[in-house]
Structure 1
Amino acid sequence: MGDMIRLTAADGVTIDAYRAAPSGAPKAGVVVLQEIFGVNDHIRRVTDGFAAEGYLAIAPALFDRAQPHVELGYGPDDMKQGMEIRARTTLDGALADVAAAVKAASEAGKVGVVGYCWGGSLAFLAATRLAGVSAAVGYYGGMIASHLDEIPKAPTILHFGEKDKHISQDDVRKIQAAFPHMSVFVYPADHGFNCDARGSYDKPSADLARARTLEFLADKLA
């Protein structure tokens, strides 16, 4: 459904991105933000899924500044490599690349940002820091609890798993307390529950989170 394109950020850095377009005229744009495993087969399928729902969907390769063409699996060695590459990225650089993807997706109208794991944190920060974001959805973003002094400028919802070994329920409760009017959903699942390529995949939780995400985007991007 999609193909690779190039994006140029405001600082002149050029990165790859996976772009998937719907069969008809797009109703809005969606930027899909990766986990620490790159724009791999799973992220491309997620992006295709948003295109199938009528959105122009773009997944920027957020590791390109540190190491281009990263596509990892989900084994221990992949996890170690992903964390090492992630450590060589900067928040400012990643958000500049997200902004470039938002600009590209805006040809379809309003733009929502949906991110997973590292990308879930970046989706939240895109809502607090970037122009042109009309909605944000964060799945199990581990950095959110350390940025509670930042207020999203766009409507935002968050998804967490109550069995997540990387994000404590104390942190989730802090987020809920900081943003009492934000929908912060908690599922009986582990970290990465949306990814059907991981052992932590939980289909009922993933399906419910996706339904809530699509309903939210349909409302906010109309």
Structure 2
Amino acid sequence: MFTLLSKNENAVIVLHEIYGLNNHIKQVCKELHNSGLDVYCPNFLNREEPFSYDQHSQAYDYFMKFCGFDTSMIFDLLTRIRDRYKKIIIVGFSVGATLAWLCSESAQCDGIVSFYGSRIRDYTDIMPNNPTLVIQAKYEESYDPYFLQHKLSKYSLVSFHIFNSRHGFCDPFNKAYNPSESAKALTLSHDFITQIIN
């Protein structure tokens, strides 16, 4: 697990993509820590080296075989750290975003930020019990984000935003990176987290 701890009052759990603890995820962790949060980032892959982006198929197969959408590691972590913090937010990217969504029913966390979790579409029966920010890319190859937005509109605690970009647009190391849309999405997530912890 990658951690950045400074005995802050509030914490964030960051859930990585299929690639593992890569430079993008570590950068996100550092930015969240610099904003005044303790950071916990579980390594679902149990690999020291992350997959590279050109190993997408291999990374996906590895994730599905050895990890899958199993939230037990996240809930174990939540149970261990819950008493240390006033508020705990879960922030996930891609498969990590879907895992974050699966945690949104729990009373153990206080908010969810989900960056382009494509598999949320398989779990629309989950009803969040926490404020939940869903950030999606407009141009998804395997599903329609507008239809997902419609499906989730029945949940009062969900704030759903679609950005004019592609999956991975907030990752500066990804070919889909879109600086302007990323800046908007990151500002939105920062404001969302600030509202929860203040």
The normalised TM-score by structure 1 is 0.81
Q: Hey, what does 2:138 align to over in structure 1?
A: 162
Deviations 1:148-175 (A, max 9, x none): 1110111101000111224323543333
Aligned to 2:51: 72
Partner of 1:188: 164
Q: Which moved more, 1:175-184 or 1:158-167?
A: 175-184
- Write the distance in 2 (CA, Å) between the matches of 1:103 and 1:52: 24
Number of matched pairs: 196
Which one of the candidate residues 39, 52, 69 is aligned to 1:57?
A: 39
The aligned amino acid for 2:63 is: R
2-side partners of 1:154 and 1:40: how far apart?
A: 28
Unaligned runs of 5+ in 2: none
Q: Does 1:116 align with 2:98?
A: no
1:73, CA displacement in angstroms? 1.8
Conservation of the 8 A alpha-carbon contact between 1:145 and 1:174 = no
Q: Percent of aligned pairs with the same residue? A: 19
Correspondence for 1:100: 76
Q: Residue 218 and residue 103 in structure 1: after superposition, are their counterparts in 2 closer, same or farther (change >3 A)?
A: farther
Are the equivalent residues in 1 in contact too, given 2:149–2:160 (CA < 8 A)? no
Contact kept, 8 Å, 1:145 with 1:171, in 2: the verdict is: no
Runs of 4+ in 1 over 4 A off after TM superposition: none
Contact 2:128 2:157 in 1 (8 A): no
What is the TM-score normalised by the length of structure 2? 0.90
Which whole-Å deviations, capped at 9, do the CAs of 1:55-91 have from their partners, x for residues lacking one?
Answer: 0011100122xxx33412211xx10111111111243
- Please give the alpha-carbon distance, in whole angstroms, between the structure 2 residues aligned to 1:142 and 1:70: 24
Mapped to 1, the partners of 2:107 and 2:158 lie a distance apart of 20
Q: In angstroms, what is the RMSD of aligned CA positions?
A: 1.8
What are the residue-to-residue correspondences of 1:197-216 with 2, within 5 Å? Answer: 197-216=173-192
2:103 aligns to what SS in structure 1? helix
The runs of 5 or more residues in structure 1 that have no matched partner are 1-16
